[in-house]
Structure 1
């Protein structure tokens, strides 16, 4: 695999920025001037390739949804049907195709899974021409039911993982190899900013590190310096600030706005289900027993990321007048009670954004037009909570800030551990709870 192929592969991974910077050095060392190379070296010098141990305890990939490979292989054996050896039943489309082709063999309707009312009795099996014993028919029926159940679970897990990716890096993982490889400056900026965006949150009572650092700025400036060659549409999939969108035609901006609107619709439906399934304390947004905080926080992050991109495009198209008719708010993440206590004990107070969240209608209900909310209502709520509605990103694009590069910490569930081997030992011995 070539270096550029490895770099593209990182778009769907969680590689450390240092290791991505090392790949960029290899690809661009002859094109960078002395200053640019020194800026990039701030990260690259900490890569695993240059490290004595060359090891990280943190997973470098996102999760994957488990398909129905095991169940379908059993079904192929029991139904005695031939299937291609290359069929991969970890993919939703392949599972759906198998069910569509196999269920009619026993006259089972997909979605009809009530054991008492949806099975065929002896007379119905005979009329359908099924020469099967009750035991054989029930065995096949139950197996198809289990595959359907696995399909539904796979769809739900795939949604969760997709929303987690969107929360971190927007649509970077959907950029095609052709668009990525079209221009080296484009590829390097996207890959590094993607790695920075995917860095895990740390356990702190302060704000998280901003992903756009001085290395991102240098790589983005190279894109601007070669604007005619830069693939700005690919850039806009991960970075939708005013400068990047300036290079897109209105038609391109419109298509991207439509894409983000559709994503918001999908997230809204999922948020509504999570809100119903979890008894969440809206006033404090503190986690309590029974809350699926991981799924909620990932989905809330996806909503906020999609909303930011939607908002940026609204302004880039000169359509901010829409916000006078409809403007949906942010979704607050759930916070661990010990973090809230830590924040309060250190002189802080409950995030004022949570107060705005409590005043306004639920944002997904506004998006679905079940409730009404507009820009004026959000401004009033922000002022009541004592925050600037524009600078806080409630009604306008956020101002881009450039942070200094800081080495990626070795984390176990958000807690910094000095040594990666120690981190793996602590995790193995369950010194930290929760999921990575």
Structure 2
């Protein structure tokens, strides 16, 4: 069975309803009547079945901007033809092109100092470079600009990677061969990933939880179901886990304790190493953002000049990675590690209007902010300049009035099953009923925090 289209959704941002609609023909002969009804709750709201058949929300994550303009200009100046198949949005391809043109100037990749890395007339002659000074300088500047663009692409690619980790963990790292090993597992991974990828809403009532009744139904087709005591008394019988369930694939997006318990020791260790390395990488990344800004740590309210989008994406990635790291420690019986090394969460920056909304509704500042402010910063712990232990985290939680276990600071965060709710059409977090109106509002910067481009009906 070809699951390529379903697999492609792991790297996209398709609505869960559209993924459910893709699952119907794949699973229709395998579902019970009740399971089919549950899946149709979501599939009936797909774009294909809707009145509008359109959404103003992008169906992909924002990709890094490619270097096609810079590469073509550099190739033109060097009288070179870009290699066929060169992908301008892939840093490795752009770097390969730079390695091809750099020797033509007698320079190495990364050596771009205008004062020390250019060749003078004698050095150019000795290197066999027959170019006048003005032309050589022009080519040098072109290559330098392209290398700067390459560094920008690498930074954007890194940020895009962290944005995906913040949403769905490691789902995008799954190969097609692993994903397609078992249909039921693939169905759960695809649908749950789409649920995880949903956008945040502008609200103080809390965000939608990813694990809804449709995800639970798909998961139980893999894990089996143990009915409650009452259900057993009424005649319900337990169903065993599926023999073909692909727990390795499921653990990439849903590393719940019951999933991790079904992995081999080698698989658990591999995931622990991956999440630990990612924590270390994110700690350095967060440190860089923190040092370039002046965030108000005690309130985490964004102010003018703060790079909130980059910070919040990195913070979300850190928290997702940290949760999964803690899950694995408990699965491996290694929670003793937390006694000496217990990294805290990283708080996102919050817009001042949302904070004001909370206060107007009689709510104070999120108590997690107090815990975050009391603990050492994650990169300080990694660098060894500070320590953060389980006792410190527990003490900070108690002072803030939080249960350190139930709040997810010291243990895997518990979750339940929420009812399915259709994906709202959002414009910068604000729900808009009509997707065509949403497209117009987005085009005119409404709800974006930027100066609005007023609507002019007589022109539009």
- Taking structure 1 as the reference length, the TM-score comes to 0.97
Q: Secondary structure at the match of 1:108?
A: coil
User: How much is the aligned-residue C-alpha RMSD, in angstroms?
Assistant: 1.4
Deviation, structure 1 residue 82: 4.5
CA distance in 2, matches of 1:391, 1:383: 12
**Residue in 1 aligned with 2:275?**
260
Q: 1:377 to 1:231 in 2, by over 3 A?
A: same
**Residue in 2 aligned with 1:113?**
112
Tell me how many residue pairs correspond in the alignment. 434
CA contact (8 A) 2:72 2:82 kept: no
Is 1:299 aligned to residue 290 of structure 2?
A: no
Offset from partner CA, 1:338-371 (integer Å, 9 cap, x none): 1001101111110000000010011222133231
Q: Secondary structure at the match of 2:253?
A: coil
Deviation, structure 1 residue 228: 2.1
CA contact (8 A) 1:328 1:364 kept: no
Deviation, structure 1 residue 434: 4.6
**Residue in 1 aligned with 2:191?**
192
CA distance in 2, matches of 1:147, 1:434: 32
Deviation, structure 1 residue 83: 4.1
Aligned with 1:417 (options 427, 432, 436)? 432
CA distance in 1, matches of 2:346, 2:50: 40
CA distance in 2, matches of 1:331, 1:317: 24
**Residue in 1 aligned with 2:200?**
201
**Residue in 1 aligned with 2:301?**
286
CA distance in 1, matches of 2:215, 2:383: 36
Q: Secondary structure at the match of 1:237?
A: helix
Q: Secondary structure at the match of 1:372?
A: coil
CA contact (8 A) 1:180 1:234 kept: yes
Is 1:232 aligned to residue 219 of structure 2?
A: no
Deviation, structure 1 residue 267: 1.1
Q: Secondary structure at the match of 2:3?
A: helix
CA contact (8 A) 2:17 2:44 kept: yes
CA contact (8 A) 1:241 1:400 kept: no
CA distance in 1, matches of 2:379, 2:243: 39
Is 1:91 aligned to residue 106 of structure 2?
A: no
CA contact (8 A) 2:13 2:61 kept: yes
CA distance in 2, matches of 1:139, 1:431: 42
CA contact (8 A) 1:92 1:155 kept: yes
**Residue in 2 aligned with 1:269?**
284
**Residue in 2 aligned with 1:146?**
145
Gaps of 5+ in 2: 225-240, 451-460
Gaps of 5+ in 1: none
CA contact (8 A) 1:170 1:238 kept: yes
CA distance in 2, matches of 1:80, 1:426: 45
Offset from partner CA, 1:141-167 (integer Å, 9 cap, x none): 111101110000001111111110000
Is 1:404 aligned to residue 412 of structure 2?
A: no
Deviation, structure 1 residue 100: 2.1
Deviation, structure 1 residue 295: 1.0
Q: Which runs of 4+ in 1 moved over 4 A?
A: none
**Residue in 2 aligned with 1:331?**
346
**How do 1:207-222 and structure 2 match up within 5 A?**
207-222=206-221
Offset from partner CA, 1:226-279 (integer Å, 9 cap, x none): 532111111110010111111101111001110111111111111001001111
**Residue in 1 aligned with 2:14?**
15
**Residue in 2 aligned with 1:321?**
336
**Residue in 2 aligned with 1:162?**
161
CA contact (8 A) 2:397 2:403 kept: yes
CA distance in 2, matches of 1:312, 1:128: 59
Offset from partner CA, 1:281-308 (integer Å, 9 cap, x none): 1111001000111111111000000001
CA distance in 1, matches of 2:310, 2:217: 35
Deviation, structure 1 residue 114: 2.1
CA contact (8 A) 1:413 1:434 kept: no
CA distance in 1, matches of 2:48, 2:60: 18
CA distance in 2, matches of 1:48, 1:34: 24
CA distance in 2, matches of 1:49, 1:82: 43
Q: Secondary structure at the match of 2:433?
A: coil
**How do 1:233-252 and structure 2 match up within 5 A?**
233-252=248-267
Q: 1:309 to 1:318 in 2, by over 3 A?
A: same
Offset from partner CA, 1:117-172 (integer Å, 9 cap, x none): 22111122122221111112111111110111000000111111111000000011
Deviation, structure 1 residue 74: 2.2
**Residue in 2 aligned with 1:177?**
176
CA distance in 2, matches of 1:249, 1:199: 31
